[in-house]
């Protein structure tokens, strides 16, 4: 202790060296132990996956589910069981089995009988843990990752598990081969190995500490003291143009460090200036994107009911945009006093280029239809116009229909867009599928197929973009057509606006806290009759 009550720099340095040495010993030992463990587990993993892949390649995937469904065993079944039994006996495998995973449990197909408690065909068993369930379903797909699973269970002990999927002739996963390897004494081996490493590193560190302490005290402490005082003023100088005053001329790395600190001080001043400019530019771009987004939304019809003087139909539509400026759009307009046009489209890509392409497409489609062209002819015309100078390679999928509101007869053309859903009066919504034409702005000289249909009073037509069916939840599952149809049929007899709000609530409930990656656009047309 010195007169000020503070510990001297020499003693601090000594304590620091001791602390650093201890930390180095611990960290190095842990690193070496971890590397040793990794090496051992890599060997276990390779061995386990070799056995799992071998069984998966041998087993005929087209037969597996038949055994689960019927519970009957045949000659082939016993051939596979014999293979599993022999392999387990001649190796260090603890368990060798085949099962079909389900949501809440798994069902055994084969299980080597050389161990106590082997499971028979059709035996149901809960997953050992949530980690085991997650690992199972992670590999139950095409090209699964090979990742060993370490688990400790009262029933099965400390084991390393490897899984490999079995595919049928169609390439779909139907079952899983499981391999469990016992890991006896691995922890004790690692502890002993680490103790030896710890002793060796500790001894070497003490010797090095004693040899270099005198040199450090003489050649480093004093320059470091000056450097410390100077660098302490760096933060104070950041808000001004002043640079730190460092005067060190030791002719070694300490002087290089001092020069580096002075350079860092200058770089920090320059970085702060650049960061301020970049932040301002980013805020400007964000403001412009928000303006573009509002302009894009403003181009879509938003007043409902859109034709309050028309009693022949009821119509409602909306778009729930994603964070980025996108390319979804819908449109509807009266072609003449007895015909209405409905448009649902999705431009490829995101950002301002897609939004500009969307605006041009919307105008061209409306112009072509109002010029008297049928849906197929209109898309043919728009395709030709959009291909002119389309250097960005954008294209647009379009569903376009013109409906005679006095008779309910309509003509639709589908350029690579989603299939519409139709509900007949007093019935349920169903997907209507027919052959599509290619998207607009993809190839020159395209002819677009037209599809005739007739709506009766009480029928409803629902169109949408892929943002609806491809809405994703936190488990990376897609909403899909089936869930969408279920959502439509929940309150199918309510007004069109209430119906779309029901679908929106179901999408929000399904997605949960998952981010929205694409625009969600929907439109429903209910025909009431003349």
What is the number of alpha carbons within 13 Å of residue 6 lying toward its C-beta? 5
pLDDT (average), residues 420-437: 94
* φ and ψ of 97, to 5 deg: -155, 165
520 CB-near residues (< 8 Å, 6+ apart):
319, 320, 322, 328, 465, 467, 468, 471, 504, 507
Q: Distance (Å, rounded) from C-alpha 27 to C-alpha 463?
A: 61
What's the confidence (pLDDT) of residue 191?
66
Q: How many CB atoms lie within 10 A of CB 319?
A: 20
Q: Per residue in 51-107, pLDDT tens? A: 888 998 999 999 999 999 998 999 999 999 999 999 888 887 888 999 999 988 999
For 454-463, give one letter per residue: b (16+ CB within 10 A) or e: ebeeebbbbb
Does residue 3 register a pLDDT over 60?
no
**Could you give the 3-state DSSP secondary structure of residue 396?**
strand
Give me the chain's average pLDDT, please: 84
pLDDT (average), residues 330-336: 96
| Dihedral sign computed on CA atoms, order 477, 481, 484, 486 | negative
Q: What is the DSSP string of 232-267?
A: TTHHHHHTSS---------SSHHHHHHHHHHHHHHH
Residue 232 banded pLDDT, cuts 50, 70, 90: low
pLDDT (average), residues 357-370: 94
pTM over 0.85: no
Residue 323 banded pLDDT, cuts 50, 70, 90: low
Q: pLDDT: is 423 or 150 the higher one?
A: 423
Query: Nearest CA to 378 among 360, 357, 401?
Result: 401
What's the confidence (pLDDT) of residue 208?
75
Q: pLDDT: is 1 or 70 the higher one?
A: 70
Which residue has 């010993």 as its token pair?
25
Element housing 124 (H / E):
strand 124-125
Instruction: Name which of 6-10, 34-38, 99-103, 444-448 the model is least confident about.
Output: 6-10
The highest-confidence range among 39-53, 228-242, 265-279, by mean pLDDT, is 39-53
Q: Are 377 and 402 in contact (CB under 8 A)?
A: no
Query: Nearest CA to 187 among 195, 199, 179?
Result: 195
Q: Distance (Å, rounded) from C-alpha 420 to C-alpha 400?
A: 11
What's the confidence (pLDDT) of residue 338?
95
List the alpha helices (DSSP H) in 371-512.
375-387, 466-469, 480-488, 496-511
List the alpha helices (DSSP H) in 401-473.
466-469
% of the chain at pLDDT higher than 90: 45
**Could you give the 3-state DSSP secondary structure of residue 326?**
coil
Q: What is the DSSP string of 75-93?
A: HHHHHHHHHHHHHHHHSSE
Q: Are 312 and 530 in contact (CB under 8 A)?
A: yes
Q: Distance (Å, rounded) from C-alpha 151 to C-alpha 53?
A: 21
Instruction: Name which of 173-177, 180-184, 458-462 the model is least confident about.
Output: 180-184
What's the confidence (pLDDT) of residue 33?
67
pLDDT (average), residues 193-197: 72
What's the confidence (pLDDT) of residue 233?
65
What's the confidence (pLDDT) of residue 10?
63
* φ and ψ of 158, to 5 deg: -85, 110
Q: Does residue 445 come out as left (phi exceeding 0), alpha (psi in the -120 to 50 range) or beta?
A: left
Which residue has 């349920």 as its token pair?
428
Residue 203 banded pLDDT, cuts 50, 70, 90: confident
Q: pLDDT: is 299 or 168 the higher one?
A: 168
Q: Distance (Å, rounded) from C-alpha 530 to C-alpha 528?
A: 7
62 CB-near residues (< 8 Å, 6+ apart):
168, 169
pLDDT (average), residues 439-460: 95
Does residue 404 register a pLDDT over 90?
yes
What is the number of alpha carbons within 13 Å of residue 323 lying toward its C-beta? 5
Does residue 44 register a pLDDT over 80?
no
What's the confidence (pLDDT) of residue 217?
67
Six-digit token string for 343? 């448009």
% of the chain at pLDDT higher than 70: 83
**Could you give the 3-state DSSP secondary structure of residue 411?**
strand
Q: Distance (Å, rounded) from C-alpha 42 to C-alpha 128?
A: 23
Q: Are 314 and 528 in contact (CB under 8 A)?
A: yes
Q: pLDDT: is 511 or 35 the higher one?
A: 511
What's the confidence (pLDDT) of residue 42?
73
**Could you give the 3-state DSSP secondary structure of residue 331?**
strand
Q: pLDDT: is 459 or 133 the higher one?
A: 459
Q: Per residue in 114-169, pLDDT tens? A: 777 788 999 998 887 787 788 788 888 767 777 777 777 676 777 778 888 999 99
Instruction: Name which of 261-270, 326-335, 459-468 the model is least confident about.
Output: 261-270
**Could you give the 3-state DSSP secondary structure of residue 183?**
coil
Instruction: Name which of 156-160, 301-305, 402-406, 423-427 the model is least confident about.
Output: 156-160
Query: Nearest CA to 504 among 524, 526, 474?
Result: 524
CB < 8 Å & 24+ apart, contacts of 27-30 = 28/197, 28/201, 29/194, 29/197, 29/198, 29/201, 30/194
């Amino acid at each position: 202790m010195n007169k000020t009550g503070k510990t001297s720099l020499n003693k601090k340095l000594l304590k620091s060296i001791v602390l650093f040495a201890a930390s180095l010993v611990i960290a190095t030992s842990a690193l070496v132990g971890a590397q040793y463990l990794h090496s051992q587990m890599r060997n276990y993993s390779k061995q386990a996956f070799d056995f799992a892949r071998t069984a998966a390649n041998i087993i005929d995937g087209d037969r597996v589910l038949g055994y689960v469904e019927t519970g009957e065993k045949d000659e082939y079944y016993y051939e596979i069981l014999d293979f599993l039994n022999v392999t387990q006996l001649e190796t260090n495998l603890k368990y060798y089995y085949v099962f079909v995973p389900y949501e809440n449990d798994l069902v055994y197909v084969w299980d080597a009988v050389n161990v106590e408690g082997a499971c028979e065909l059709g035996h149901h068993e809960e997953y050992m843990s949530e980690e085991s369930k997650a690992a199972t379903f992670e590999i139950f797909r095409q090209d699964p990752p090979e990742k060993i699973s370490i688990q400790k269970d009262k029933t099965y002990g400390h084991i390393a598990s490897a899984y490999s999927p079995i595919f049928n002739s169609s390439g779909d996963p139907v079952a899983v081969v499981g391999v469990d390897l016992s890991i006896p004494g691995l922890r004790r081996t690692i502890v002993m190995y680490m103790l030896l490493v710890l002793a060796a590193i500790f001894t070497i560190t003490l010797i090095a500490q004693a040899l270099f302490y005198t040199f450090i005290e003489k050649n480093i402490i004093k320059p470091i003291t000056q450097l410390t005082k100077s660098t302490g003023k760096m933060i104070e100088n950041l808000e001004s143009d002043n640079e730190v005053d460092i005067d060190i001329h030791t002719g070694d790395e300490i002087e290089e460090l001092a020069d580096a600190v002075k350079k860092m001080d200058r770089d920090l001043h320059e970085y702060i200036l650049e960061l301020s400019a970049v932040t301002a530019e980013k805020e400007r771009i964000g403001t412009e994107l928000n303006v573009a987004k509002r302009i894009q939304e403003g181009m879509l019809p938003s007043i409902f009911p859109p034709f309050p003087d028309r009693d022949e139909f009821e119509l409602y539509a909306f778009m729930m945009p994603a964070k980025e400026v996108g390319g979804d759009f819908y449109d509807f307009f009266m072609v003449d006093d007895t015909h209405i046009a409905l448009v649902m489209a999705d431009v490829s890509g995101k950002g301002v280029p897609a939004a500009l392409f969307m605006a041009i497409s919307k105008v061209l489609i409306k112009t072509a239809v109002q010029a008297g062209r049928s849906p197929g002819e209109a898309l043919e015309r728009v395709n030709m116009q959009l291909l002119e100078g389309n250097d960005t390679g954008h294209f647009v999928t379009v569903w376009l229909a013109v409906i005679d509101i006095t008779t309910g007869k309509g003509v639709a053309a589908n350029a690579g867009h989603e299939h519409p859903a139709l509900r007949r009066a007093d019935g349920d919504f169903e997907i209507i599928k027919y052959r599509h034409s290619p998207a607009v702005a993809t190839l020159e000289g395209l002819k677009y197929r037209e599809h005739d249909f007739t709506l009766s009073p009480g029928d409803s037509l629902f169109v949408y973009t892929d943002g609806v069916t491809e809405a994703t939840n936190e488990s990376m599952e897609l909403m899909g057509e089936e869930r969408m149809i279920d959502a439509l049929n929940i309150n199918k007899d309510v007004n069109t606006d209430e119906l779309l709000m029901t679908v929106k609530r179901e999408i929000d409930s399904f997605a949960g806290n998952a981010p929205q990656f694409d625009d969600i656009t929907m439109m429903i047309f209910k025909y009431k009759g003349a």
